[in-house]
Structure 1
Amino acid sequence: MSDHPFHVAGGFFAPTRHNQPETLTLQRPSLPEETSSAPRPGSRRRKLWDIPHKFHCPVIGVCFGVEELRGLMARSMQFPRDTSDFVLHTTAVGACEARTPLAEALHKQLEKRFQLSVRVFTKAKEAEALRSLWRDAAQTGIELPAALWASWTHPACDALLEQDIYADIHMIQHQLGTGTRAELSMLKALQADNAQLRRQLDAARHEVETQRTEKSRETQQLGQRVAELRIELACKDAYAANLAGQLELLRQSLPELKERQALARRASDAEARASALTAQAGEQDREIDYLRDRLRALTQHAGETIKSLLAEGPDAAPEDTGANLAGKCVLCVGGRTGSIDGYRQIVEQRGGRFLHHDGGLEESLHRIDGFLAAADLVICQAGCISHNAYWRVKEQCKRTGKPCLYMKNGGASGLSRLIDQNRSDTALPAKV
């Protein structure tokens, strides 16, 4: 028979004196008597020291972590700090064979931790129901330590179920070891990938930090520029306010400013009229020279006509040659350029003085006011002047009461017929 009754290599720490802290005296335990694995009669759950001793190793190894086990053992015994985890594990397993202070502490901790699972497993009254609960827990792997403790301490757990649980937990531990090795290999690969990702992350962080610094510098420059623009805008606003104040002071110091502006406009209009009158005077001088020549020709023609009439007899009478303008000033606004001389000849044959304005096509509209003021009769070529000139002539004639004749046909014959048809309008006293 082996010297290691709990199927592990090593020993256990036995107390040197009763009721004293246990010291590190590593001893070989004596072989206990073989106990039956059959469940005890009754409904009382088994204690940690009541289950078979070979099951203590899986219970301690599965239900307790290494650091937790070290802390629980430090409360009831003394051992060097450099004691290995394996020696502590074998010592705890050996102490669970009998009811020792360490076994009681471990039992209380297991009962406190797994009380919910124990209540669930207590509902099973037979070994088959308990086996079903264990298999469900083993397949899912959830709360496996709690299921292991609740099953082995259950009063309905027989020797066959104990052996099946032992076999399952034994193989699970092997599978965990294999999985741990695979996980270690995967962990190394993941660590290598993690190191590479960390290097990439550090490079990205450095690049981001560089960009952040550059953006921060640009933001500061833009903020400084915005502040400068705001100052410049404030200066311009202040300058505009100062100019507005000065303008208001000027307006208050010149209360007759509007009157002066009106006088300035009237002076400008008067200057325009003076220019028009000057131009009209020059044209009239030319007309006077022309009329003198015409008068000499007419006088000569009249003398010849009188002589012929006297020769024909006293019953002969002169024909009606049309309307007599008798020295009236006739203003023709618009008209075709080629017909101007014909207009002039018709007016002068009837004893009138001829003035002409092109209706704003080339001459300024400001000069038309002077022409309208000097005219006794206005003839408007409605189809050959601008709209502004048309309405200006019409309004001025209506306001002053001067006769205004409107022509649709731009020929010289049309003008002659228009004058003859409106003799009543042309029969005004001549201007001196």
Structure 2
Amino acid sequence: MLDHPFHVAGGLFIAKKALGPEIDASFLKRPQAELPETASSSRRRRLWEIPHKFHCPVIGTCFAVNELRPLMHKVMHLPRDTSDFVLHTTAVGACETRTALAGLLHKTLEKRYALIVRRFAASKTAEGVRRHWQEAVASGMELPGALWAAWTHPACDSLLEHEIYGDIHMIQHQVGTGTRTDLKTLQALRAENAELRRQVDSLRQDAEAARNEKAGETRALGERLTELRAEQAGRDACIARLSADLAKLRDSVPELRQRQALARRAEDAEARASALVAQCREQAETLERLRRRLDELENSGRTADTVATQPANADLSRENAAESLYGKCVLCVGGRSGAMDAYRDAVERQGGRFLHHDGGLEESLHRIDGVLAAADLVICQAGCISHNAYWRVKEQCKRTGKPCLFVKRGGVSSFGRILADLCGEETADAASD
């Protein structure tokens, strides 16, 4: 036990080792200070001027142990292993008179609770101080500052001092009881906190496992993506290589385009030949039909040549009038793309076959020679074809003597009138013959 006096309310306790020749035994028999009855000055009391039994509540309430220790080390030397109780009782004993420690604690309290002291100073009577103290007790806030401001107030009399002493004494008991309750609650909270920590650790492990799984999936997808990109790069390289090979092949065969042109011409010639074969077949059928009719006329018993010739010519003229385009190929060069079906219907209603070439807009001009050779009649819509196609059609028809009609407009009605006029001319020619 350390050699320091332990001050308590109403007296002090001194260890036997603390008694020495320098300490007078009469110190133990010193009477307790008398309590003042009324305030005799308007000046606020200092820490060492208030009754000594109030020092214990003031030091214990206004200073925490970890705060009191460095303050005491500033003015006195204390061993490092000094207990909290020795620190408290030493500070209480030092406040009985004006000592260096008492002055330091007084300045600290004045600075810390200056606002509360100023609020209490507005009251000039003990009743006003009591009201401020009761408000602080009711709210439970600022109790240390209110205790210091009330006990050092000039208007605080002995009755108010004991009333405050009783209140703070019971509050300390209640705080102790509450502390024990808080300790039990703290233990329960610690147990609950431990359980929650366990659950959090479990959830953290589950989350870590899920994160690792997702990371593995992400790595697998990344590797797959890299493989796909490599495959795509390989395909692109293969396409580029094949394109280069194709270009080399084309360069190695310089007459490739000519061969392609010849192949198109061959196709056109084949189409023309097919058209000519069909035309020959139709003409053979017409000839056979005329022969049968001639045989019928010879077997009818008509002997007069004039009588036999006139009906025959009349029948031929009617047949030619009815079948002016029968078996003939009508080539339409140019025209509106949306009217092709109408052109075809107009020609087929007259018994003809419809051929078409767009005049070099999309189709090759080399193909126009084949369709011109297969056609029996050419209708050239000059306003819908190129100049090269126009001169080519005109020159070909002039060289072969093939009938060609040039039309400025590409309407369906114009095309129909041309066919009607053409049929009328051929009918008139047949009748005159």
Q: Which of 281, 302, 307 lines up with 1:305 in the alignment?
A: 302
Name the structure 2 match of 1:424.
Answer: 428
Give 5+ residue unaligned stretches, structure 1: 19-26, 327-345, 358-371, 373-377, 404-418
Shift of 1:118: 2.3
Structure 1 range deviating more: 81-90 or 258-267: 258-267
Name the structure 2 match of 1:193.
Answer: 192
Shift of 1:79: 4.3
Question: Distance between the aligned counterparts of 1:301 and 1:353, measured in 2?
Answer: 30
Question: Distance between the aligned counterparts of 2:165 and 2:179, measured in 1?
Answer: 21
- Cα distance change on mapping 1:394 and 1:172 into 2, 3 Å: farther
- Provide, for residues 338-361 of structure 1, a one-character-per-residue CA deviation record: whole Å limited to 9, x for no partner: xxxxxxxx959999997499xxxx
Name the structure 1 match of 2:176.
Answer: 177
Question: Distance between the aligned counterparts of 1:351 and 1:111, measured in 2?
Answer: 135
Name the structure 2 match of 1:223.
Answer: 222
Contact kept, 8 Å, 2:8 with 2:89, in 1: the verdict is no
- Cα distance change on mapping 1:247 and 1:10 into 2, 3 Å: farther
- Cα distance change on mapping 1:190 and 1:323 into 2, 3 Å: farther
Equivalent positions of 1:2-401 (< 5 A) are: 6-7=9-10, 10-11=13-14, 29-241=28-240, 261=260, 263-282=262-281, 284-285=283-284, 295=294, 297-298=295-296, 300-301=298-299, 304-306=301-303, 309=304, 320=311, 323=314, 325=316, 347=319, 355=327, 380-382=347-349, 398-399=379-380, 401=403
AA partner of residue 74 (structure 1): H
Question: Distance between the aligned counterparts of 2:322 and 2:48, measured in 1?
Answer: 157
Structure 1 length normalisation: TM-score?
0.65
Question: Distance between the aligned counterparts of 1:394 and 1:278, measured in 2?
Answer: 12
Structure 2 length normalisation: TM-score?
0.65
- Cα distance change on mapping 1:17 and 1:31 into 2, 3 Å: closer
AA partner of residue 398 (structure 1): I
- Cα distance change on mapping 1:239 and 1:351 into 2, 3 Å: closer
Question: Distance between the aligned counterparts of 1:257 and 1:100, measured in 2?
Answer: 122
Question: Distance between the aligned counterparts of 1:174 and 1:63, measured in 2?
Answer: 16
Question: Distance between the aligned counterparts of 2:160 and 2:32, measured in 1?
Answer: 22
Contact kept, 8 Å, 2:133 with 2:150, in 1: the verdict is yes
Q: Matched residue of 1:176: which SS? A: helix
AA partner of residue 162 (structure 1): E
- Cα distance change on mapping 1:348 and 1:294 into 2, 3 Å: farther
Question: Distance between the aligned counterparts of 1:207 and 1:146, measured in 2?
Answer: 52
Question: Distance between the aligned counterparts of 1:289 and 1:321, measured in 2?
Answer: 16
AA partner of residue 274 (structure 2): S
Structure 1 range deviating more: 28-37 or 129-138: 28-37
Contact kept, 8 Å, 1:130 with 1:157, in 2: the verdict is yes
- Cα distance change on mapping 1:104 and 1:322 into 2, 3 Å: same
Structure with higher helix content? 2
Contact kept, 8 Å, 2:328 with 2:376, in 1: the verdict is no
Name the structure 2 match of 1:339.
Answer: none
Contact kept, 8 Å, 1:49 with 1:98, in 2: the verdict is yes
- Provide, for residues 177-216 of structure 1, a one-character-per-residue CA deviation record: whole Å limited to 9, x for no partner: 2222222222222112111111110011001111111111
Percentage of pairs with the same residue: 47
Q: Matched residue of 1:33: which SS? A: coil
- Cα distance change on mapping 1:33 and 1:379 into 2, 3 Å: closer
Shift of 1:55: 0.7
Shift of 1:174: 1.9
Shift of 1:33: 3.5
Question: Distance between the aligned counterparts of 1:219 and 1:54, measured in 2?
Answer: 75
- Provide, for residues 56-111 of structure 1, a one-character-per-residue CA deviation record: whole Å limited to 9, x for no partner: 11101101111222333334444444443223322322222222333223223222
- Cα distance change on mapping 1:209 and 1:277 into 2, 3 Å: same
Q: Matched residue of 1:274: which SS? A: helix
